């Protein structure tokens, strides 16, 4: 049941390493440099996503109640989405509706100690909880993929406080954790109060975790800061206050090519703190701790995305519109078009090997494109080992490509390249693969290619 236990330890370790390594430009600030609390306050709408980003969804927490078309409030220490007790981490709180309020333009999650011994009947083996607190999620209501997910949040200080702003893959009820994927944008731990701790958790031949952090140089608790992930098809960048950045996470797992939903919660204790007793938590009876959220926003890349017409993008007309480049004539051993299992229509493109080494670049050349920023998208299934497996684009035959390395995807998965700037009107786009060994289990199926102008 403590399925997030190992990963939390890894997050802590990763963040600690980041501190020792001095990765952050702020990490050498000492106590004398600490700024007064008031300067930490961020004004409403102080955040600028930068050019090229369009607001796709937001909640400003106006009015006097939570927007139920955006959020579901948890009212138990049993989570019906992930079907676990105490959220798999041994947290000490019992979420309930009256500890989730909206006022003054903010969401307020309030924690308080209780001796009422609340406990869900499905969690009797875990014993009663010692605190009430607030926890909301957007599952089934706000689920999106990619973009910038940002919030302005004030986390409470004190030993045992575990506020979090994070996501889970929307398919978690079907595939479970960690196959669903998890993006921890902000977690806060009182032992390292200057740090925004960020992490990802996913499955790739077992449970994998990756962690980073961004260091403000003074405690980020008790003041508003913006916490952000910039998530594309192949990369995540985590930022504190729009500027302080941890390491970059490169990925191509299916977990991060699908919709995620948002979770905001204020946990207490649990395994990230080494499972302390309730008596150790710095929240006396009769007092409260609050996690406050001014706004949450989800930005999309691009102003309006404009599809550009391609010839035969779904391979329903053979190889019309597509060319193959291959060194040493190896493409014949590698390239085929099959009639089985197209994502749309009966046909798709296949690159595969039957133990014969090959390399092939199947591409469509476009000319006369309006100058601008473009991305290529396609749906891919893939299995086996390749030396090169890329969806890529380049502005001339000898130009350096932008590309996304393809992961292994059991079902058709939408992938996209990084942005490429086109100024001369020309673009070559498609799939570049190379394999030196393998068998019939080595295949890539590709279908429904799109060229998008941002
Ligand atoms: Ca097709």
User: How many angstroms is it from 311 CA to the middle of ligand 1?
Assistant: 12
**Residues 296, 141: contact at Cβ < 8 Å?**
no
Are 159 and 44 within one domain? yes
Q: Is the confidence at residue 271, as pLDDT, over 60?
A: yes
User: How many angstroms is it from 190 CA to the middle of ligand 1?
Assistant: 53
Q: Is the confidence at residue 145, as pLDDT, over 50?
A: yes
For residues 163-173, average pLDDT: 97
Are 166 and 312 within one domain? no
In sequence order, what are the residues at sequence separation of 6 or more whose Cβ sits closer than 8 angstroms to the Cβ of residue 101?
Answer: 66, 107, 108, 110
**Residues 31, 194: contact at Cβ < 8 Å?**
no
Give me the pLDDT at residue 243, please.
87
Give me the pLDDT at residue 46, please.
66
Give me the pLDDT at residue 426, please.
97
List, as one string, the DSSP characters of 417-429. PPPEEESSS-EEE
Tokens 């702003």 correspond to 165
User: How many angstroms is it from 204 CA to the middle of ligand 1?
Assistant: 28
User: How many angstroms is it from 56 CA to the middle of ligand 1?
Assistant: 30
User: How many angstroms is it from 361 CA to the middle of ligand 1?
Assistant: 19
User: How many angstroms is it from 283 CA to the middle of ligand 1?
Assistant: 59
User: How many angstroms is it from 253 CA to the middle of ligand 1?
Assistant: 23
Q: Is the confidence at residue 19, as pLDDT, over 80?
A: no
More confident residue, 148 or 26: 148
For residues 38-44, average pLDDT: 42
User: How many angstroms is it from 139 CA to the middle of ligand 1?
Assistant: 31
Give me the pLDDT at residue 304, please.
59
User: How many angstroms is it from 377 CA to the middle of ligand 1?
Assistant: 14
The tally of domains found in the chain comes to 2
Mean pLDDT of the chain: 86
User: How many angstroms is it from 446 CA to the middle of ligand 1?
Assistant: 8
Are 346 and 429 within one domain? yes
User: What is the C-alpha separation between 330 and 224, in angstroms, rounded?
Assistant: 59
Judged on CB neighbours under 10 Å (0-12, 13-18, 19+), 30 is: exposed
The residue out of 282, 301, 320 marking a domain boundary is 301
Return the closest-CA partner of residue 308 out of 366, 262, 242, 381.
Answer: 366
Are 290 and 364 within one domain? no
Give me the pLDDT at residue 35, please.
32
Give me the pLDDT at residue 191, please.
96
For residues 135-162, average pLDDT: 97
User: How many angstroms is it from 313 CA to the middle of ligand 1?
Assistant: 8
Strand blocks (E) in 253-387: 260-268, 288-301, 306-308, 323-325, 335-338, 348-352, 358-366, 372-383
Reported confidence tier of residue 52, pLDDT bands at 50, 70, 90: confident
User: How many angstroms is it from 229 CA to the middle of ligand 1?
Assistant: 34
User: What is the C-alpha separation between 85 and 155, in angstroms, rounded?
Assistant: 24
Tell me which of 7-11, 166-170, 177-181, 412-416 is least confident.
7-11
Give me the pLDDT at residue 408, please.
82
Are 254 and 365 within one domain? no
Give me the pLDDT at residue 241, please.
93
Tell me which of 94-108, 149-163, 356-370 is least confident.
356-370
User: How many angstroms is it from 346 CA to the middle of ligand 1?
Assistant: 6
Give me the pLDDT at residue 343, please.
83
User: How many angstroms is it from 312 CA to the middle of ligand 1?
Assistant: 9
Q: Name the β-bridge partners of 112.
A: 132, 288
Are 147 and 271 within one domain? yes
Q: Is the confidence at residue 382, as pLDDT, over 70?
A: yes
User: How many angstroms is it from 382 CA to the middle of ligand 1?
Assistant: 16
For residues 416-444, average pLDDT: 86
Are 87 and 161 within one domain? yes
Return the closest-CA partner of residue 93 out of 59, 129, 128, 125.
Answer: 129
For residues 119-138, average pLDDT: 96
Q: Name the β-bridge partners of 150.
A: 228, 297
User: How many angstroms is it from 356 CA to the middle of ligand 1?
Assistant: 26
More confident residue, 241 or 437: 241
User: How many angstroms is it from 275 CA to the middle of ligand 1?
Assistant: 53
Give me the pLDDT at residue 435, please.
85
Are 256 and 376 within one domain? no
The CATH number for 56's domain is: 2.60.120.200
Are 404 and 293 within one domain? no
User: How many angstroms is it from 415 CA to the middle of ligand 1?
Assistant: 16
Give me the pLDDT at residue 114, please.
98
Tell me which of 20-24, 232-236, 423-427 is least confident.
20-24
User: How many angstroms is it from 282 CA to the middle of ligand 1?
Assistant: 59
Reported confidence tier of residue 5, pLDDT bands at 50, 70, 90: very low
Reported confidence tier of residue 454, pLDDT bands at 50, 70, 90: confident
User: How many angstroms is it from 441 CA to the middle of ligand 1?
Assistant: 21
Domain with 437, as residue range(s), is: 306-453
For residues 215-222, average pLDDT: 95
3-state helix, strand, coil in the chain (%, to 5): 10, 45, 45
Are 227 and 334 within one domain? no
User: How many angstroms is it from 437 CA to the middle of ligand 1?
Assistant: 27
Give me the pLDDT at residue 111, please.
98
Give me the pLDDT at residue 36, please.
33
User: How many angstroms is it from 362 CA to the middle of ligand 1?
Assistant: 15
User: How many angstroms is it from 341 CA to the middle of ligand 1?
Assistant: 8
For residues 97-126, average pLDDT: 96
Q: Is the confidence at residue 44, as pLDDT, over 60?
A: no
Reported confidence tier of residue 441, pLDDT bands at 50, 70, 90: low
User: How many angstroms is it from 340 CA to the middle of ligand 1?
Assistant: 10
Are 207 and 131 within one domain? yes
User: How many angstroms is it from 143 CA to the middle of ligand 1?
Assistant: 27
Q: Is 404 helix (H, G, I), strand (E, B) or coil?
A: strand
The residue out of 301, 320, 335 marking a domain boundary is 301
Are 291 and 372 within one domain? no
User: How many angstroms is it from 36 CA to the middle of ligand 1?
Assistant: 60
Tokens 């590709």 correspond to 446
Q: Is the confidence at residue 17, as pLDDT, over 80?
A: no
Give me the pLDDT at residue 47, please.
82
Give me the pLDDT at residue 3, please.
35
The CATH number for 371's domain is: 2.60.120.260
Reported confidence tier of residue 43, pLDDT bands at 50, 70, 90: very low
The residue out of 301, 319, 343 marking a domain boundary is 301
For residues 446-452, average pLDDT: 93
User: How many angstroms is it from 28 CA to the middle of ligand 1?
Assistant: 55
More confident residue, 352 or 163: 163
Judged on CB neighbours under 10 Å (0-12, 13-18, 19+), 279 is: exposed
Q: Output Rg (C-alpha) for the chain, integer angstroms.
A: 24
For residues 150-157, average pLDDT: 97
């Amino acid at each position: 049941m403590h399925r997030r236990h190992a990963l939390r330890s890894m997050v802590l370790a990763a963040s600690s390493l980041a501190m020792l390594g001095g990765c952050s430009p702020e990490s050498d600030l000492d106590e004398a440099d600490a700024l007064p609390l008031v300067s930490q306050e961020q004004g409403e709408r102080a955040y600028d996503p930068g050019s090229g980003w369009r607001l796709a969804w937001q909640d400003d927490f106006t009015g006097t109640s939570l927007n139920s078309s955006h959020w579901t409030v948890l009212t138990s220490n049993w989570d019906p989405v992930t079907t676990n007790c105490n959220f798999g981490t041994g947290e000490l709180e019992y979420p309930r509706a009256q500890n989730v309020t909206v006022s003054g333009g903010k969401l307020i999650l309030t924690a308080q100690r209780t001796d009422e011994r609340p406990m869900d009947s499905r969690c009797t083996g875990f014993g009663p909880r010692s605190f009430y607190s607030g926890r909301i999620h957007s599952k089934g209501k706000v689920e999106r993929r990619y973009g910038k997910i940002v919030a302005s949040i004030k986390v409470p200080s004190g030993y045992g406080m575990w506020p979090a702003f994070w996501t889970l893959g929307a398919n978690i009820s079907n595939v479970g954790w960690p196959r669903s994927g998890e993006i921890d944008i902000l977690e806060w731990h009182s032992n390292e109060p200057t740090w925004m701790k960020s992490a990802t958790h996913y499955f790739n031949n077992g449970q994998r975790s990756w962690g980073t952090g961004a260091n403000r140089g003074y405690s980020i608790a008790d003041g508003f800061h913006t916490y952000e992930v910039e998530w594309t098809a192949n990369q995540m960048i985590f930022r504190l206050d729009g500027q302080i950045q941890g390491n970059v996470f490169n990925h191509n797992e299916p977990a991060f090519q699908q919709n995620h939903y948002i979770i905001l919660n204020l946990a207490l204790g649990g395994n990230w703190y080494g499972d302390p007793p309730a008596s150790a938590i710095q929240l006396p009876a009769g007092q409260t701790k609050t996690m406050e959220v001014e706004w949450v926003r989800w930005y999309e890349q691009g102003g309006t995305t404009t599809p550009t017409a391609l010839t035969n993008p779904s391979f329903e007309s053979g190889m019309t519109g597509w060319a193959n480049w291959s060194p040493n004539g190896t493409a014949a051993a590698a390239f085929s078009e099959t009639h089985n299992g197209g994502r749309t229509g009966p046909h798709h493109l296949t690159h595969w090997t039957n133990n014969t080494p090959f390399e092939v670049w199947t591409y469509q050349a476009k000319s006369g494109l309006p100058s601008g920023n473009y991305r290529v998208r396609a749906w891919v299934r893939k299995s086996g080992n390749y030396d090169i497996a890329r969806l890529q684009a380049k502005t001339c035959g000898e130009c350096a490509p932008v590309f996304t390395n393809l992961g292994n995807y059991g079902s058709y998965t939408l992938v996209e390249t990084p942005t490429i700037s086109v100024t001369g009107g020309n673009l070559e786009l498609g799939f570049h693969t190379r394999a030196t060994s393998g068998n019939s289990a080595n295949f890539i199926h590709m279908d429904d290619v799109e060229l998008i102008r941002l």
